[in-house]
Amino acid sequence: MGVCWPARADPQWTVGVVGGGAWGRPFGGQGAGKGFFGAVHGDVLLGQQRNTELGFGPYARVSSLHFEDARLSGGVSVLLPVWSGVPLVLSGGGVWRSGVGGSAGGLEVWAFWGLRSHNFHGDYCLTNGLVFGWQQQLSESGGNTFVVGAQVDAAVLALPFLLLYEAAQR
């Protein structure tokens, strides 16, 4: 007779800030064709008990191209454990863009490659790495954006402020 262990695959969530360069065909023929892309990205991945297992779950992103528009997007992410602690996360979903030239929906695909280790002691995992993305507007005037950037975990960005706060309390 075998022994059964309870399955335990706690959700792992993260929030990061993305900054990078973007190139593409301007939406509605208006705005710049290249420049800065900034975003706040968050996801929750399910199904993992360790770094060597597949993970999947929803993501959400708020972004802007050249600070000329606002983009809201969301979809599904899949974590592929290519190398322990340094997985490849592929994401795809929908995007809504509003700004110069009007508003329209579209589709997007993203790839993240970098540090993302399963946290065995909590639900939050630090995530830092490279991102590559493609957004395609589905409208008559079209428009697409290709992004290359870096994602830095929000906790890493908060550390200097937390240290200053703690130092001021002493």
> Domain for residue 1, yes or no?
no
How many domains does one find in the chain?
1
Q: Which domain holds residue 121?
A: 12-169
Average pLDDT, the chain: 88
CATH number at 64 reads: 2.40.160
Domain-located, residue 89? yes
pLDDT value for 30 = 59
In a domain, residue 7? The reply is: no
pLDDT computed for residue 26 by the predictor: 66
Is 124 within the bounds of a domain?
yes
Amino acid at 137: Q
Name the helix (H) or strand (E) containing 73. Answer: strand 69-80
Q: Are 110 and 131 a contacting pair, CB within 8 Å? A: yes
Residue 33 lies in a domain: yes
> Would 86 be classed as within a structural domain?
yes
- Rounded to an integer, the average pLDDT of 8-19 is 87
Half-sphere exposure of 158 (CA within 13 A, CB side): 9
Q: Does residue 5 lie within any of the structural domains? A: no
Cβ-in-10-Å burial (0-12, 13-18, 19+) of 5 comes to exposed
Split at pLDDT 50, 70, 90, the class of 21 is: very high
**pTM for this one?**
0.86
Which residues are CB-neighbours of 132 under 8 A, at least 6 positions away?
Answer: 110, 111, 147, 148
What pLDDT shows up at residue 2? 59
Confidence of residue 6 (pLDDT cuts 50, 70, 90): low
Is 155 inside a domain boundary?
yes
Distance CA 161, CA 170 (A): 15
Tokens 């992103």 identify what position? 61
For 44-82, write each residue's pLDDT tens digit. 999 888 888 899 999 999 999 888 889 999 999 999 999
Q: Which structure tokens are listed for 131?
A: 């991102």
> Per-residue pLDDT tens for 86-98?
999 999 999 999 9
